[in-house]
Chains A and B, each alone.
Chain A
């Protein structure tokens, strides 16, 4: 039973992807219908997995000694992320019915989305590092193809290429780590690795740990690999909500959390994770406050919020990171889809051209404000509880300087959240827009997410049961409280008070921004730096540029001449013979 469920959560969306890839674009209504049906079924199947959580391997496909067994383990962490991917995927597909209405090539769009959902569930459910890498790269491909969905727009194509190269570069670290584990343990199985990681020599474990950190940072758009995410905003907005806010970018956090027990003892690793998280959280917030593009603002805030999760893993609070992941997935999907509704109605992404939309789009305004409250970390929506828990754990187990920067980041988050809402929904209308409120399918997707933003923190106790019940290697790092315990814990912690004061200060600072007008000249330099991604752009340019250069050099080997290709084959035969002669 469980095994069929695990396999169907992966293969049902893939089946849908296949059907939609083969479907005719002349029947868009049918495509919308089929895609939604498959997405909803996947979401329901993932929910069915919840009571079946186990730490045992339920599916194991023998694939020979080289590839190891292809195993799948639906433990707490996996199932939790499967549900997030499948349910938010389902809502994003429903949202797309209105958002993508009348667009061309829906078959390609929906098949890639469903392919992505299946890859994401496979990535979290598998317990083979090789398959993990495989699904990881499939997600990167879907992300690339969907960013470049409008493939007649050079910006979209460039953004997709950049995202692909950056995440692939990180994927090399993941593959290297998997191969090292295999060369020492003879298996790709993650459970075995977690059990016997201490038997690896220290240098090998260090290479693995930092390789995985690079992979995770590239995937989760963390400093210094973050600059692909703003470029990824050329994708259709439901894609930004699903892939670049709620699910795929969480893969890096998942990876760190999954392997935390094995790497925690590696000298310098936890510090490195904390540094990456703090830098991303703080710099992301600074960049968000200076951005004027609605989706870019949200992208920077995603970098910042993912930084909080990475920071939480770094200080050893795996539970807090997953709890914030859940909150963030829900409220950020809500914000992105709300932004999608606004952009769809207004036709521009520039916040300076919006304003005064609140009266014309009351529904979208209301749900967007709920999401913003959670993003800013105001009581008592889900973002508040999880962010406070992260900060509290950070104060208790992490370095003080990191905590101070994180709290400052929380203040900045409050400021840019308020700025965003104000610029979009209030103030005077800059332009006369003939806008209408969100249509039915968009509301269908937005309403559950808004509700979720209000209530998912009540699931804290359930989540801790889920995680503690099936993760034997993580038990000592979980610090998982029950719901009531969490409420008392957070409300009485001094960290909470500090954070609330700073958040309030952030809100006030933006509200009375006129008082700081004289400071704006002094702020010009940091603003310019933020606009230039703090100079990290050069690193990305180096990576992307050198990859493309290597590609054009390798292109020389593709002469297109049959004779040269035949010479290559002959060279292969000679190499095999040489191995036979000198090898034996």
Chain B
């Protein structure tokens, strides 16, 4: 069952697990951006793996390129927000950033 593609798929699942765990369990806002990056790395790998299996590698690359661009922009925006939060509120601790509480 565990062929070489499945091994890579396990790696992708590992990335998803680590990313999701970090998203839920990490307190530092910048580290949450790191968690998002890890999740998206898994997604990029999954796209290419799917392209390899389907035989549509070039299309998979094109889609994954869009994902990379989007992911980079998410990093930029997330970091910009984090920096602004730090400057205005003086902390990056998500436990203390509760001004949206209803």
B24→A560 contact, CB < 8 A: no
A555 / chain B contacts, CB cutoff of 8 Å: 102
A560 / chain B contacts, CB cutoff of 8 Å: 97-102
Query: CA separation between A559 and B95, bound complex, in Å?
Result: 10
B100 / chain A contacts, CB cutoff of 8 Å: 558, 560
What's the A-B contact tally at a CB cutoff of 8 Å? 37
B44 near A: Cβ within 8 Å?
no
B101→A570 contact, CB < 8 A: no
B76 near A: Cβ within 8 Å?
no
B20 near A: Cβ within 8 Å?
yes
A558 / chain B contacts, CB cutoff of 8 Å: 100-102
B27 / chain A contacts, CB cutoff of 8 Å: 563
A562 / chain B contacts, CB cutoff of 8 Å: 29, 32, 94, 97
Tell me the smallest distance from the CB of B98 to a CB of chain A, in Å: 4
Tell me the smallest distance from the CB of A548 to a CB of chain B, in Å: 13
**Interface positions of A from 446 to 504, Cβ below 8 Å from B:** none
B23 near A: Cβ within 8 Å?
yes
A561 near B: Cβ within 8 Å?
yes
Query: CA separation between A555 and B100, bound complex, in Å?
Result: 11
Query: CA separation between A563 and B96, bound complex, in Å?
Result: 11
Query: CA separation between A485 and B13, bound complex, in Å?
Result: 81
A557 near B: Cβ within 8 Å?
yes
B24→A566 contact, CB < 8 A: yes
Tell me the smallest distance from the CB of A567 to a CB of chain B, in Å: 6
B101 / chain A contacts, CB cutoff of 8 Å: 558-561
Which of A557, A561, A570 lies at the interface centre, i.e. has the most chain B CB atoms within 10 A of its CB? A561
Instruction: Give the interface size class of chain B.
Output: 10 to 19
Q: Which residue of B lies closest to A559 (CB)?
A: B101
Tell me the smallest distance from the CB of B94 to a CB of chain A, in Å: 4
Query: CA separation between A560 and B102, bound complex, in Å?
Result: 7
Choose from B23, B95, B102 the contact partner of A566 (Cβ within 8 Å): B23
Query: CA separation between A560 and B97, bound complex, in Å?
Result: 7
A557→B24 contact, CB < 8 A: no
Choose from A554, A561, A566, A567 the contact partner of B98 (Cβ within 8 Å): A561
A561→B95 contact, CB < 8 A: yes
A563→B24 contact, CB < 8 A: yes
Q: Mark A308-333, 1 if CB is under 8 A from B, else 0.
A: 00000000000000000000000000
Tell me the smallest distance from the CB of A207 to a CB of chain B, in Å: 33
Tell me the smallest distance from the CB of B100 to a CB of chain A, in Å: 4
A557→B94 contact, CB < 8 A: no
Q: Which residue of A lies closest to B101 (CB)?
A: A560
Tell me the smallest distance from the CB of A553 to a CB of chain B, in Å: 10
Which of B20, B29, B95 lies at the interface centre, i.e. has the most chain A CB atoms within 10 A of its CB? B20
Q: Which residue of A lies closest to B95 (CB)?
A: A561
**Interface positions of B from 25 to 56, Cβ below 8 Å from A:** 25, 27, 29, 32
B98 / chain A contacts, CB cutoff of 8 Å: 559-561
A566 / chain B contacts, CB cutoff of 8 Å: 23-24, 32
**Interface positions of A from 531 to 584, Cβ below 8 Å from B:** 554-563, 566-567, 570
Query: CA separation between A292 and B97, bound complex, in Å?
Result: 52
A570→B94 contact, CB < 8 A: no
Query: CA separation between A76 and B14, bound complex, in Å?
Result: 65
Query: CA separation between A567 and B21, bound complex, in Å?
Result: 10
Q: Which residue of A lies closest to B99 (CB)?
A: A560
Query: CA separation between A556 and B94, bound complex, in Å?
Result: 18
A554 / chain B contacts, CB cutoff of 8 Å: 102
Q: Mark A405-432, 1 if CB is under 8 A from B, else 0.
A: 0000000000000000000000000000
Q: Which residue of A lies closest to B20 (CB)?
A: A570
Query: CA separation between A557 and B29, bound complex, in Å?
Result: 21
Query: CA separation between A559 and B94, bound complex, in Å?
Result: 12
Query: CA separation between A567 and B20, bound complex, in Å?
Result: 9
B94→A561 contact, CB < 8 A: yes
- A and B contact pairs by CB, cutoff 8 A, 26 listed: A554-B102, A558-B100, A558-B101, A558-B102, A559-B98, A560-B98, A560-B99, A560-B100, A560-B101, A561-B94, A561-B95, A561-B98, A561-B101, A562-B29, A562-B32, A562-B94, A562-B97, A563-B24, A563-B25, A563-B27, A563-B94, A563-B95, A566-B23, A566-B24, A570-B23, A570-B24
Counting from the closest, the 5 A-B pairs by CB-CB distance are A558-B102, A560-B101, A555-B102, A560-B98, A560-B100
Given A558-B100, A559-B98, A562-B29; 12 other pairs, CB 8 A cutoff: A554-B102, A556-B102, A557-B102, A558-B101, A558-B102, A559-B102, A561-B95, A561-B98, A562-B94, A563-B25, A567-B24, A570-B20
